[in-house]
Amino acid sequence: MSEKPTIGFLGMGHMGLPMAINLHRAGYQLKGFDVVPAAVKAAQEAGIQTVASGAEAAVDVDIVLTMFPSGQHVLDAYDQYLLKSAKPNTLFLECSTIDVAQARQAAELAVAAGHRSADAPVSGGVVGAEAGTLTFMLGAQAEDLAEITEVLESMGKRIVHCGGYGAGQAAKVCNNMLLGISMIGAAEAFVLGERLGLEHQALYDVISSASGQCWAVTTNCPVPGPVPTSPANRDYQPGFAAALMAKDLGLASSALAHTDTDAQLGSLASALYRKFSDEGNAGTDFSGIINAIRDGSL
């Protein structure tokens, strides 16, 4: 069996740290780095080798994996130190959720600097990151697939190759735009049902087996009761925070503008989640938007 690739792992936050821990447990040698000292300390406590700078994390490794808050963080780090610190032909594996155009730009920069590139954003949240059950949406060249898949399998259970550079981010943005729209739709249906005198369970029993069936109802049901594990049963503790939904819908809006796509519901969902998040609900599960719909404050 060939030796495992070495990995520079940058961005060990809520998602990155458990992902790094799973790679470490699977026997990968990491050079971990985060700009926040507490994150570095947490990684060290988990047995992960850390280095003193982002540039150092990229030196003499086979893969540079980034898990950053935004596309600008990725482009800045690539441009300022990562691409020039890495040895030729390093694989830049970008796992953050970022703008599709910025993902393509990051790939172009990496390739122009003599490296390889792939985007592999995730879904599954912190719970999935900890359990190693993330889904990866992969934008990569066919010749890199085997190498990438082997690494991602230590952190996730499903890897979907969506196409070339940026295709992973494109798939993520389309999925999350649909999720934002469908959660608002589910919430509106339950509020309307309440006002028409329907019990939540009765409406759930119909929707979950009828044509309105969707993940927003059957897994993340916005009312307490019918799905005991949904955040509605724990006062809307996330789960998937409204701030993250607002971020992802902002990326969807950017993609809609770039592609001149008339998607009125996607644009409206983006505006509604931005307002909901900004008005004191950033840390609330995104299904909590039902409360703003019910009280008419959106």
Which one is catalytic: 157, 172, 247, 275? 172
Angle at the Cα of 238 from the Cα atoms of 175 and 241, rounded to 5 degrees? 50
Place of tokens 């938007």: 289
- Position 221 contacts ligand NAD (CB under 6 A): no
- Position 165 contacts ligand NAD (CB under 6 A): no
Choice between 62 and 94, CB closer to ligand NAD: 94
Partnered with residue 163 across adjacent β-strands are 139
Taking the complex as a whole, the smallest distance from the CB of residue 268 to ligand NAD amounts, in Å, to: 21
Taking the complex as a whole, the smallest distance from the CB of residue 161 to ligand NAD amounts, in Å, to: 19
Q: Within 40-99, which residues bind ligand NAD (CB under 6 A)?
A: 54, 67-69, 73, 77, 96-97
Q: What is residue 30's three-state secondary structure?
A: strand
Residues in binding contact with ligand NAD, number by CB under 6 A: 27
Site string for ligand NAD, 2-41 (x = CB under 6 A): --------xxxxxxx----------------xxxx--x--
Site string for ligand NAD, 103-142 (x = CB under 6 A): -------------------xx-xx----------------
- Position 157 contacts ligand NAD (CB under 6 A): no
Would strands 30-33 and 91-94 be described as parallel, antiparallel, or unpaired?
unpaired
- Position 174 contacts ligand NAD (CB under 6 A): no
Site string for ligand NAD, 241-260 (x = CB under 6 A): ---x--x-------------
| Number of Cα atoms under 13 Å in the Cβ half of residue 153 | 8
State the DSSP string of 215-257: HHHHTT-SSSSSSTTSGGGGTT--SSBHHHHHHHHHHHHHHHH
CB-based closest residue to ligand NAD? 13
> Angle between the 200-207 and 167-195 helix axes, to the nearest 10 degrees?
140
Q: Which stretch binds ligand NAD (CB under 6 A): 109-117, 191-199, 240-248, 282-290?
A: 240-248
Contacts of 32 (CB under 8 A, 6+ apart): 9, 10, 12, 20, 40, 43, 48, 49, 50, 51, 57
d(CA 49, CA 221): 41
Taking the complex as a whole, the smallest distance from the CB of residue 234 to ligand NAD amounts, in Å, to: 16
Place of tokens 């935004």: 70
Active-site residue 172, yes or no? yes
Judged by the rule CB under 6 A, the positions of this chain that interact with ligand NAD are 10-16, 33-36, 39, 54, 67-69, 73, 77, 96-97, 122-123, 125-126, 240, 244, 247
